[in-house]
Structure 1
Amino acid sequence: MARKRKKAIAILENKFAIVTVTTVVLSMAIILGVKVNSIKKELVQRESYKQKILEELDSENERSKKLEEQRKYVQTDSYIIEMAREKLGLVFPNEIAIKAEK
């Protein structure tokens, strides 16, 4: 009878060990699943941020090109003549300035 009892206890201990290991494995699987989901969300956020930054970079590059074009234009004789006429009211010696009355 002692032998049957030891065998029953051993079977019970084995079942308990199996249940414990199964519980631990399932818990780890759940934790890993949650962590993977969290990492995926962060990855999506970072990708969105990256796209936003790339769009801003493109916009700033375009703005830089326009400013460079304007800088070059400002250094031309055409611009200087235009500003002299517009802001200072100057004319070439062989020109006649006609101003409209306001």
Structure 2
Amino acid sequence: MVKRKIVFRRKKRENRLSMLLVTMVVLMVLAVVSIRSMELRQKQQGYQDQIKQLTQQIEEETQRTAEIEEYEKYTKTRKYVEEVAKDKLGLVYDGEIIFKPEN
């Protein structure tokens, strides 16, 4: 009977040790998973910021494209041709008088 108690105590101690080891492993895995989870959240936030920035750039470029198209339409008008002829080439209509300020 005494021998049986000793064997029972030894098994109980071994069982506690194995449970402690399993608990430690589980806690370590939990810590690693938590740390990786935080890193992934930070990456996700960075990607969301990048998406917002790129979306804003797309909107700006779309607006710029619309402005360029409007300017292209304007360059095809007679008014634009007259402005360029007057400003850059110095051309005037017959009978038109131009006054220039003295410097």
**Under a length normalisation based on structure 1, what TM-score does the superposition of the two structures give?**
0.90
Q: Aligned to 2:88, what secondary structure does the other structure show?
A: helix
Query: Alpha carbon RMSD of aligned pairs, Å?
Result: 1.3
- Matched residue type, 1:36: S
Separation in 2, partners of 1:37, 1:46: 14
* Structure 1 residue ranges (4+ consecutive) displaced by more than 4 angstroms after TM superposition: none
**Under a length normalisation based on structure 2, what TM-score does the superposition of the two structures give?**
0.89
- Matched residue type, 1:97: I
Unaligned runs of 5+ in 2: none
- Matched residue type, 2:99: K
Unaligned runs of 5+ in 1: none
- Matched residue type, 1:22: T
> How many aligned residue pairs are there?
101
Separation in 2, partners of 1:68, 1:11: 84
Separation in 1, partners of 2:101, 2:53: 52
Q: Deviations over 1:45-84 (max 9, x none)?
A: 1111111111111111111111111111111111001111
Separation in 1, partners of 2:99, 2:57: 45
Separation in 2, partners of 1:92, 1:6: 120
